[in-house]
Amino acid sequence: MIIKDEFLGRIRKIFGLNLYEAKVWTAILSRGVSTAGELSNIGDVPRSRTYDILESLEKKGFIVMKLGKPIKFIALKPDEVVDRVKRNLVLDAADRSKRLDKLKGEELMKDLSNIYVQGVKFVEPHELSGALKGRNNIYNHMDMISRGAEKSITIVTSEEGLGRKFEALKETFEKAKKKGVKIRFAAPITSKNVKVAKELSKFAEVRHASNLDSRFVLIDGKELLFMVLNDKEIHSSYDLGVWINTPFFAQTIDKMFDASWEKMTPLNKMKL
């Protein structure tokens, strides 16, 4: 049975399978019921690996082992497999979340934190920088540095970005506000995002920025995370951010922004 690499690639990505698992699963789907030896030949998978692969697929809910000899395996309907995979993902995510929450109070976490603190002592300031690929990674890092803010969070974003940041970081901003952190948002305010802007104004000062064609986050005048591409021209997976921890440069950006901030229109003075 010949299956195109592109098709196998999509199966692997969507269902979280490795190459051999994808090959064996498509092989058993083509037969309905089959032995390990037959699936090895059909799927072009090493015979020595086939039973391990089938055991893995069975645990993941893709197939069922048939009673009797020789041992055979039964394919399940793809619709049923999708439902099982979804249920398993939810259960696995809940279990992982509980374990991670529990870890925060354990001795292991303290040991890991001590190792990090000791390691940071040997890091030069210019080494505290990095590139972040993909919007999810960028927002995760944005969340981290925002949670560490002590004095101020300044965010310049696009029309669409205002809504994205509200959805992704609302809780973080609310907690920062309660800590006394000053939060400022600058973005083009239009009829499309004015509702989001009003929601943000409950814990941040929001102003209309018509001439700032950029996206960045500035924390305490020390840390700067800026995006290097136009979010209207790229897919979120290809978004690129650069993070630097340098008060020398960040403070300069902060002062330049302050001058622009005074010229922006406050949300409560806009007519939309």
Please give the pLDDT value at position 124: 52
Round to whole Å and give the CA distance between 174 and 170. 6
Give the burial string for 111-130 (b: 16+ CB within 10 Å, else e): eeeeeeeeeeeeeeeeeeee
State which residues of the chain have pLDDT below 70: 1-2, 116-128, 272
For each of the domains in the chain, give its residue range(s) and CATH number, in order of start: 5-81 (1.10.10.10), 126-269 (3.30.870.10)
Please give the pLDDT value at position 111: 72
End-to-end CA distance of the chain: 61
Round to whole Å and give the CA distance between 219 and 241. 15
Please give the pLDDT value at position 211: 78
Q: Which of 260, 239, 246 is nearest to 156 (CA)?
A: 260
Token pair in block for residue 33: 């019921």
